[in-house]
Structure 1
């Protein structure tokens, strides 16, 4: 008897779920017939949200990562083991690294997403790229002025960036898990 009542209860839940879906389909069809109201966000299906999140990762974030990679590769040619002198570092920083990284910042600022859950993540990536950009500008200023205190500030901004990116990846893991998306942190 318990099994039968559980089965009936499960069928009721399915039917209630279907009827809610049908009514929301009718409502969305009715809404489509009305003129678009720009103050309301159009409702996206799970699959549409899933696709937008995948596109955000594969297209938007990949573009930002490409700019960041180019900037960091240029920086690596004159820092660390490749460091020769401050003048060379300043030249590459000014002429290659900062201009390339500014593309990442601009792309982050221009991101426009429809999925509500992505909006705080977009804000995180915009903040993170801004932090790293500040670190680069502080490093440039430190080299121009030979100011060790500015170098320390630049390094602190670099650490802040690492924390901001780690927070971004944590939020992406949570979001992609909710939408059954395989997310790999690069």
Structure 2
């Protein structure tokens, strides 16, 4: 089986650098500090489990299959449901949040494709899934850059969480 590579999304903590009546600033602060914080544990749980059975931790197809079916996919489905239910007030933050949803859905689809590849024992499907994971990683990076840019435009200081700093 080919090695699957995944880099999890790191989270941000936000500190307000000044008080204002900026609705985008308020929405961004709520989005990162409250809304995303609620779903982050689910994403981290699914991704951590995935990483525990892939790459250098890979032992065999059955272990990966069982983890995908029993924990990774159900946890990630719950994460996606909660991610899509997040309420956002401003168009600027909504636009960025949609990128996160798109990346997360692509990553989920890649996990499903890996499950299918294991069932069929098809290396071609694994290669497709690896491409999807690479695309999702790029989309997560783009999302992070958009968050940073919007934060800068609206006087919000971002700091990496100590546990997710990379």
TM-score, L = length of structure 1? 0.71
- Show the counterpart of 1:156: 131
Q: How many residues in Structure 1 have an aligned counterpart in Structure 2?
A: 142
Measured after TM superposition, the shift of residue 55 of structure 1 is: 1.4
Measured after TM superposition, the shift of residue 133 of structure 1 is: 0.4
- CA-to-partner distance for each residue in 1:117-146, whole Å, 9 max, x for gaps? 111111101101101001100011001110
- When Rg is computed on C-alpha atoms for both structures, the one with the higher figure is 1
- Show the counterpart of 1:117: 92
Matched, 1:104 2:79: yes
The structure whose residues are more often strand, as a share, is 2
- Show the counterpart of 2:50: 75
Preserved CA contact (<8 Å) 2:27 2:93: no
- CA-to-partner distance for each residue in 1:80-122, whole Å, 9 max, x for gaps? 2222210111001110011111122112211221112111111
List alignment gaps of at least 5 residues for structure 1. Answer: 1-44
Preserved CA contact (<8 Å) 1:104 1:129: no
> 4+ runs of 1 displaced by more than 6 Å?
none
- CA-to-partner distance for each residue in 1:37-72, whole Å, 9 max, x for gaps? xxxxxxxx31x4322211101122223322111011
Pick from 139, 160, 169: which aligns with 2:114? 139
Matched, 1:64 2:39: yes
The structure whose residues are more often helix, as a share, is 1
Q: What secondary structure, in the 3-state scheme, does the structure 2 residue paired with 1:184 have?
A: strand
- Show the counterpart of 1:181: 156
Q: What secondary structure, in the 3-state scheme, does the structure 1 residue paired with 2:159 have?
A: coil
Pick from 65, 68, 75: which aligns with 1:90? 65
TM-score, L = length of structure 2? 0.79
CA–CA distance in structure 1, aligned partners of residues 60 and 111 of structure 2: 17
Preserved CA contact (<8 Å) 1:77 1:83: yes
